[in-house]
Amino acid sequence: ESSTITEGISSILSNPGTPSQVVACAFPTKSTYFFPFTCVSEIFLYAKDLIFTIIWAIQNGRADIFVGSGNLSALAGVILKKLGIVGKVVFYCIDYVPERFTNPHVNWLYHWVDRLACEGADLTWNLSPRMADGRNRRWGKILGRQMTLPIGVHFSRIHRLPLDQIN
């Protein structure tokens, strides 16, 4: 079932329609962050991003909703939820690849983080229903609450309100 971002957020709030503080988090690209070491493992950099995201969110205070773009960012949201810093977590997943890395151990770790994010989030937004199918097939069970939230404008798939009903 396709939905919009507003419908996706409203579906996990206890009081839909009330103002909420929403934190959207995506990791910076390598060219936009400063880190004093240049010869470090990429896994170390991922761990650093996870830790820095958690620290940043704690410093910015409580939020009703944390939208994590990507599995590592969503995992930070899940940890923050367990710490009581955020109320609800949305895992916004723009791709799901069965073989993300050629190294089977790193690939397994990537999918394990994806599973933790999906199971720990209140809602997972996938760009395609095939993403949920692939994830569920990999683990042999339905993981978390997943919905399809396509990007772009698909007027045939998205319910639109008449102009006179829009605030």
| Residue 158, token pair as written in the block | 């998205």
Query: H or E stretch including 86?
Result: strand 86-93
Strand order in the sheet with 86-93: 22-25, 63-69, 86-93, 123-126, 146-148
pTM of the model as a whole: 0.70
The Cα–Cα gap between 148 and 164 comes to: 27
What pLDDT is attached to residue 16?
Answer: 52
The Cα–Cα gap between 160 and 51 comes to: 40
| pLDDT category of residue 34 using cuts at 50, 70 and 90 | very low
The Cα–Cα gap between 7 and 126 comes to: 14
Query: Please, what is the average pLDDT of the chain?
Result: 79
| pLDDT category of residue 23 using cuts at 50, 70 and 90 | low
Number of Cβ within 10 Å of residue 132's Cβ equals 21
Q: Please, what sign has the CA dihedral across residues 133, 134, 140, 143?
A: negative
Residue 145 has pLDDT above 70, yes or no: yes
Residue 100 has pLDDT above 90, yes or no: no
Q: Tell me: the pLDDT tens digits for 53-90?
A: 999 999 988 999 999 999 999 999 999 999 999 999 99
Residue 101 has pLDDT above 90, yes or no: no
- Phi then psi for residue 136, to 5 deg, are -65, -35
What pLDDT is attached to residue 103?
Answer: 84
Residue 149 has pLDDT above 90, yes or no: no
Residue 30 has pLDDT above 80, yes or no: no
What pLDDT is attached to residue 33?
Answer: 44
Average pLDDT over residues 107-120: 93
Residue 129 has pLDDT above 70, yes or no: yes
pLDDT: is 8 or 132 the higher one? 132
What pLDDT is attached to residue 118?
Answer: 94
The Cα–Cα gap between 130 and 86 comes to: 29
